[in-house]
Amino acid sequence: MKPDAKTRAYLSEIGRRGGRRSRRRLTPEDARDMVRVREARKAFRTYYAQCFWFIRPDWRITREEVPEVARGLRKYGGRKGFELAARLCP
């Protein structure tokens, strides 16, 4: 079932409004920090059993904890973990 023209116009308008509101300006440094945090969270989940077994599994990683994740990867993550830690903390 295809929406009629009135419904399409309504959906288009609310989508346009939402897009305008959700746009934000990030500095390059903030964008890099967001990527680092996302990668640190992914690494934490991937290497949890090997490197982070002593930490609660629901630990919320923020920008301040990224160096701690990198330290654990360097110490217990083997070669792949060491290389990943190098990308997290340049």
Is 82 a domain residue? yes
Average pLDDT over residues 24-30: 83
Is 66 a domain residue? yes
Q: How far is CA 24 from CA 57, 63, 74, in A?
A: 31, 19, 34
Is 84 a domain residue? yes
Model-level pTM greater than 0.85? no
pLDDT at residue number 18: 65
pLDDT digits (tens, 9 = 90+) for 66-77: 999 999 999 999
44 is in which domain, residue-wise? Answer: 27-88
Counted domains in the chain: 1
Q: How far is CA 74 from CA 2, 60, 67, 77, 90, in A?
A: 55, 20, 10, 6, 13
